[in-house]
Amino acid sequence: MTVPSVRGMKDILPPDSARWAALESAFLAHAARFGFREIRTPVLEKTELFSRAVGETTDIVEKEMYTFTDRSGESLTMRPEGTAPVVRALLAHRAELGEWPVRLSYSGPMFRHERPQKGRLRQFHQFGAELFGTESPYADVEILAFLSGFLSSAGLDGVSLEINSLGDPACRPQYHRKLSGFLASREERFCDDCRRRREQNPLRVLDCKSERCMEATKDAPSILESLCDGCRSHFDAVEKGLAANGIPFSRNPRMVRGLDYYRRTTFEFVIPGMGAQNTVAAGGRYDGLAEMLGEKEPIPAIGFAIGVERLLMLLGEDGNAPTAADVYLVTSHRRFVDEAFRWKMELLGKGVRAEMDYEGRSVKSQFRRADKSGAKAVAVFGEAEDARGAVMLRDMAAGTQEEVSKDEAMRRLATFKEE
């Protein structure tokens, strides 16, 4: 009996792995155009990092983290999200990262012990970007333009941007009091988790995906009605910047996100009609997170994360999958295998993705494999052509073929590099 994989953790096999690699490469290239440099943080972090940053009362910390005590007695956690580790790295290596603003992007696996379902796994992957060192609303618009542009370039249709403001320490307490009074009058209608959350962090109740809780809070007071002048001015500037740059959006006053570190601007890119699993990418401003992790002064920051599995699912199974080969070498007899293999090695050395059959299958079978590989050209080693020092070259797209000398054939095949 073979050993099965861990529930909720999936092998990524060809051709899907090629789609993953292509999408990741496209994201990092897009990030670089906006001035973001890649950062790679460890998969394991001290548990304290997430309990302090994400929030003790969040579902992530209470229910979902993979946490264990190592042999030295230290509590470690497999990262459930990417922002807190990036901030931790920023604080540890601040002098090495240059002047503000600092722009960092990342990609990699995250881990949460949730109920596995389509588009959501226990080991899942995210692309993300964080912009540090400016509280300007222009930074918010830049991040949203970055994300909107990437989703569009990836080929995702029908996505909508929803935004909200969560206020800041100057105005949020007043809203908390107003919201707490509203929630207290409906406590009997909440799930057990939300009855507890109502006391510890009332905003968490608005984030609950239970239908009974969503129904009970559908007419909850909006935080937008309680913003202080500073937060109102910031939110107005973000909306004005989005409109000026042709980025459509709508307000969603219920959006609070699932993490405690957010303040002011929060946002989600959603696919309407997909229910509770409609979020493709999300993020917001977290100007107080550095202080939560021990920094003396606040560091203004804003960022986002994209769920890679969900994005690939929405793009479709066959979307933009790279071909497996540029050139396929077909042999009509076993005696040509040695020569074809030498050609393959030479073409690989020239940067051409060459493939061939080692098993002596029929020419028909080899052409079927060549077509499946996506090869642009096929070179056929045949008896008659070999006697004349030539091979048969076939253009797979045009469906045409011609006999070409071996030297000329190698020269032409060397031009079929992956674009």
> CA–CA distance from 321 to each of 16, 20, 22, 374 (Å)?
8, 9, 8, 10
pLDDT at 214 over 60: yes
pLDDT at 31 over 80: yes
Average pLDDT over residues 43-52: 92
Least confident among 8-22, 182-196, 263-277, 365-379: 182-196
In whole angstroms, give the CA distance from residue 230 to residue 235. 9
Q: Is 85 or 258 the better-scoring residue by pLDDT?
A: 85
Alpha helices in 171-284 (DSSP H): 172-184, 192-200, 203-206, 211-216, 229-244
pLDDT at 324 over 80: no
Nearest to 249 by CA among 364, 148, 137: 148
In whole angstroms, give the CA distance from residue 30 to residue 36. 9
For residue 214 the two structure tokens come to 């969503």
Domain ranges within the chain, ordered by starting residue: 16-171+227-315, 327-413
- H/E stretch holding 139: helix 137-153
> CA–CA distance from 198 to each of 50, 215, 216 (Å)?
21, 16, 13
pLDDT score, position 260? 64
The answer to whether 215 touches 164, Cβ cutoff 8 Å, is no
Q: What is the CATH number of domain 16-171+227-315?
A: 3.30.930.10
The pLDDT tens digits for 365-407 are 999 999 988 899 999 999 999 999 999 999 988 889 999 999 9
Q: Do the bridges between strand 75-78 and strand 102-111 make them parallel or antiparallel, or are there none, so unpaired?
A: unpaired
Average pLDDT over residues 209-229: 81
The answer to whether 78 touches 28, Cβ cutoff 8 Å, is no
Least confident among 136-145, 236-245, 254-263, 327-336: 254-263
Q: Is 15 or 71 the better-scoring residue by pLDDT?
A: 71
- pLDDT bracket for residue 319 (50, 70, 90): very low
Q: What is the CATH number of domain 327-413?
A: 3.40.50.800
Nearest to 407 by CA among 392, 389, 395: 389
| Dihedral sign from CA coordinates of 86, 90, 96, 102 | positive
User: What is the rounded average pLDDT for all residues in the chain?
Assistant: 88
Strand partners, 391: 404
| 342-380 b/e (C-beta count within 10 Å ≥ 16 → b) | ebbeebeeeebbbbbbeeeeeeeebbebbeebbbbbbbb
DSSP 12-61: --TTHHHHHHHHHHHHHHHHHHTT-EE----SEEEHHHHHHHT-TTSHII
Strand partners, 393: 379, 402
pLDDT score, position 129? 97
Average pLDDT over residues 231-239: 96
Sequence length of the chain is 419
Q: Residue 221 in 3-state DSSP?
A: coil
Q: Is 217 or 147 the better-scoring residue by pLDDT?
A: 147
The answer to whether 51 touches 61, Cβ cutoff 8 Å, is yes
Nearest to 81 by CA among 23, 25, 125: 125
CA R_g for the chain: 27
Burial classification of residue 77, based on how many CB atoms lie within 10 Å of its CB (0-12 exposed, 13-18 middle, 19 or more buried): buried
The pLDDT tens digits for 62-76 are 778 989 999 999 999
